[in-house]
């Protein structure tokens, strides 16, 4: 059962404000995410809790919505292969026997490691183990940690310990909306988390989210790859050139990639050359981020999500 999760806040009992906040920060990483409780529990809607709890819970829920393209792509994978969306550490790192009994961290797909704070203590010490010889990036600040490494963090109520695995490409949608239905025509942002070898890969899957038309080919599924300073998008092997597929491409023709963020670039570069439909154009690069120059940002490459394209850094 892939679409599974716990009721945020617990079905019975009345968690205090700090514990309920922590539960939301964990609950957004359940495949099935909802707040729900028994009729006899106290009212616990986030707007009743006051500050700073309301802001922290709002931030968590926005993170969930931001990552819906990533989640939807994982559900596509689960429907084809049976792989769960949320995975114990040993499933991704089966050769590391020290992870076999680990229950205080988990993977979401193969790309994101979550180490939740499960106590109400507002500034608790949490041990994080970064497995394998790979880069790990704080998903908010893009601070880099080189595994294998064990490190202790002090997590106040605003801190969530979530790390992207080097070698991953994670699709997001960055506009704040009140429902996923209102995001259907929003542009995408791609986060490229570069591995130690300078590569990354990922996937983006999109369908109408409502019907079974995807069974007739009405979907977009892109294989994303970064190597040698080049980001490419190609159709997956499961993409079939059917009438339904062409109709869906037309429907999504205006949906573009509005930003690419390359995290972990070792050598600052000056420009990006975007090639699509045989035409090339140049875009200047910007560097920034919470950690100095941790992000190389390609602003509005304006490539279609359903087409073949390449972005070359130089």
In angstroms, rounded to a whole number, what is the distance separating the alpha carbons of residues 135 and 117? 22
- Answer for the pair 69, 171: CB distance below 8 angstroms, yes or no: yes
Tell me what pLDDT residue 307 has.
Answer: 94
Tell me what pLDDT residue 292 has.
Answer: 63
Q: Give the side-chain half-sphere CA count within 13 A for 245.
A: 15
3-state secondary structure of 213: helix
Please tell me which residue, 211 or 291, carries the higher pLDDT value.
211
In angstroms, rounded to a whole number, what is the distance separating the alpha carbons of residues 245 and 214? 8
In angstroms, rounded to a whole number, what is the distance separating the alpha carbons of residues 298 and 256? 13
To which CATH superfamily is domain 168-313 assigned?
Golgi alpha-mannosidase II (2.60.40.1180)
Residue 219 has pLDDT above 90, yes or no: yes
The topology under which CATH files domain 17-165 is Immunoglobulin-like (2.60.40)
Q: Give 243-275 pLDDT, tens digit per residue.
A: 999 999 999 999 999 999 999 987 777 789 999
Q: Domain boundaries in the chain?
A: 17-165, 168-313
Average pLDDT, the chain: 94
**Residue 20: which residues within 8 A CB-CB, separation 6 or more?**
8, 9, 44, 49, 53, 57
- Answer for the pair 243, 278: CB distance below 8 angstroms, yes or no: no
Q: Same CATH topology for 17-165 and 168-313?
A: yes
- Residues 122-132 have a mean pLDDT of 88
- Residues 208-214 have a mean pLDDT of 95
Which among 58, 1, 54, 6 has a CA at the least distance from the CA of 29? 6
> 282 falls in which pLDDT band (50, 70, 90)?
very high
Which among 229, 75, 80, 261 has a CA at the least distance from the CA of 164? 261
């Amino acid at each position: 059962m892939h679409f599974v999760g716990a009721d945020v806040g617990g079905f019975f009992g009345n968690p205090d404000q700090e514990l309920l906040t922590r539960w939301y920060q964990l609950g957004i990483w359940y495949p099935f995410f909802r707040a729900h409780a028994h009729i006899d529990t106290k009212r616990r809607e986030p707007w009743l809790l006051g500050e700073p709890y309301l802001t922290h819970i709002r931030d968590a829920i926005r993170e969930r919505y931001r990552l819906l393209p990533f989640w939807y792509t994982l559900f596509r994978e689960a429907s084809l292969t049976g792989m769960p969306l949320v995975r114990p550490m040993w499933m991704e790192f089966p050769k590391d026997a020290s992870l076999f009994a680990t229950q205080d961290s988990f993977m979401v797909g193969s790309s994101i490691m979550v180490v939740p704070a499960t106590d109400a203590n507002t500034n608790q010490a949490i041990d994080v183990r970064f497995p394998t010889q790979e880069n790990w990036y704080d998903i908010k600040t893009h601070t880099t940690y080189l595994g294998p490494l064990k490190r202790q963090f002090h997590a106040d109520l605003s801190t969530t310990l979530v790390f992207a695995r080097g070698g991953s490409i994670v699709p997001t949608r960055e506009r704040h909306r009140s429902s996923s239905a209102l995001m259907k025509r929003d542009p995408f942002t791609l986060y490229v988390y570069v591995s130690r070898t300078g590569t990354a890969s990922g996937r983006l899957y999109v369908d109408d989210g409502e019907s079974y038309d995807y069974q007739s080919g009405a979907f977009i599924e892109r294989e994303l790859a970064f190597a040698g300073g080049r980001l490419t998008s190609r159709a997956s092997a499961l993409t079939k050139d059917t009438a339904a597929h062409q109709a869906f491409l037309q429907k999504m023709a205006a949906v573009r990639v509005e930003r690419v963020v390359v995290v972990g670039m070792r050598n600052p570069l000056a420009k990006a050359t975007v090639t699509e439909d045989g035409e090339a154009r140049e875009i200047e690069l910007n560097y920034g981020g919470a950690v100095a120059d941790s992000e190389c940002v390609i602003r509005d490459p304006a490539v279609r999500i359903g087409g073949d394209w390449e972005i070359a850094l130089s």
